[in-house]
Amino acid sequence: MSFYIVSTPIGNLEDLSERSIRILRESDIILCEKKVRALKLISYLRIKNVKLVPYHDSKSEKIFNLIHKELNNSKNISLISDAGTPLISDPGNKLVKKLIENNFDPIVIPGPSSIISSLVISGLDIGKFIFYGFLPKSKNKIEKELLKYLDLQIPVLFFVSKNDMKKVYNILKDYPKNIFYSLSKEITKKNEKTLRGKINDLSEKKLFNFIEKGELILILNLKYFQEVDEKIIREEIKLHKMEKISKKDVAYKIREKFQIKKNLSYELTIKYWDEN
């Protein structure tokens, strides 16, 4: 008897692992968010003779009593969400906590996660990141939360609706600092796509067309850069050129000394390299 936390596809059913399929097929009970969504998955896997039990955290006490009894009767029980890895902005935390408190050790079956997927395709440095989840509803509260977390200067990930994204854009589009974004929609699905760049370079038309349809994940990263004094940098490049080192090495030295973006340091090096 075991209690499993099973990750399911976030869009593409081919992302189901063999282990996930085996565990679901061996389950006597599957706890799910919506029965309709779960039935589609169960039907796809041709699983029969399994009991589907809708679960929400408001039912944690009642469901726990059922789970406790069935686990003691040597039943295998799985918890799934509508999509992806359970418990992350989905029901299940209260139940898992209660199981642990009662000496049951849940077993996680890892798999698809929209969080990790969107991070690795963002193009940002994700050695450290913050997962925020869903934003508050009011524009004032959104602005307060955005500025608080962005000031940490590491990527912050949000689940956003179309309306949330419009509010975020209107708050940040004229912000004087460098805020980089990665906005992904429909990850693993047919219309998967990602926009990347600086918020104040993004046009309203392009954004609104992009967010018209699809599930959205937004990653924001504020970075501070020094203002560029090209005259000083120009002289620095000339000095390094006399050292007979490569353009690449000069660009690196410029970037490190003046704390400017990698692309900009290279562009300036090329720009002033051939001057007398």
Strands 29-32 and 2-6: unpaired
Q: For a pLDDT cut of 90, what percent of the chain falls above it? A: 66
How many angstroms separate the CA atoms of 154 and 124, rounded?
A: 9
pLDDT of residue 227: 61
Structure confidence at residue 172 as a pLDDT band (50, 70, 90):
very high
pTM summary value: 0.78
Q: Work out the average pLDDT over 72-93.
A: 92
Q: For a pLDDT cut of 70, what percent of the chain falls above it? A: 97
Q: Work out the average pLDDT over 236-245.
A: 84
Label residue 68 exposed, middle or buried (CB < 10 Å: 0-12, 13-18, 19+).
Answer: middle
How many angstroms separate the CA atoms of 112 and 130, rounded?
A: 18
105-150 pLDDT, tens digit each? 999 999 999 999 999 999 998 999 999 999 999 999 999 999 999 9
Structure tokens at 259: 């704390």
φ/ψ (deg, to 5) at 195: -100, 140
Contact 31, 93 (CB under 8 A): no
pLDDT of residue 7: 96
Structure confidence at residue 208 as a pLDDT band (50, 70, 90):
very high
Structure tokens at 59: 């039912």
Structure confidence at residue 271 as a pLDDT band (50, 70, 90):
confident
How many angstroms separate the CA atoms of 80 and 244, rounded?
A: 61
224, pLDDT greater than 70: no
Structure confidence at residue 226 as a pLDDT band (50, 70, 90):
low
Structure tokens at 257: 């000394």
